[in-house]
Amino acid sequence: MPIYEYKCKKCGKEFEMFQGIADPAAKSCKFCKGPVHKLMSMSTFHLKGSGWYATDYGGKKAPVAEKKAEESKSPETTEKSPTPATTKTEE
């Protein structure tokens, strides 16, 4: 059930009321019985888990785990000299 906020035009106090969407809006202050108007309050929105942005709209970068797996599979390249190294021997 939603919580609606109201502010009294007479005494200036703010209060909250649990009301169904189909229920009529409050017309009088619960403190002084003066006229009230409904306030627009900020709603909340929480993402749980890894989040939709990271999974759906993130860059096309591979995840870290996949990068590490690809690096371990690729052969290491080492340059070999075209001629074998000669060693000097003392005679």
Kindly report the backbone phi and psi dihedral angles of residue 88, in degrees, each rounded to the nearest multiple of 5, phi listed first: -90, 135
Check: pTM over 0.85? Answer yes or no: no
> Which residues does 5 contact at the CB level (< 8 Å), separation at least 6?
14, 15, 16, 38, 39, 41
CA dist., res. 40 & res. 43, Å (int): 9
CA dist., res. 49 & res. 88, Å (int): 65
Q: What is the CA radius of gyration of the chain?
A: 35
User: Domain boundaries in the chain?
Assistant: 3-39
- Res 39 pLDDT > 60: yes
56-70 pLDDT, tens per residue? 665 556 566 665 666
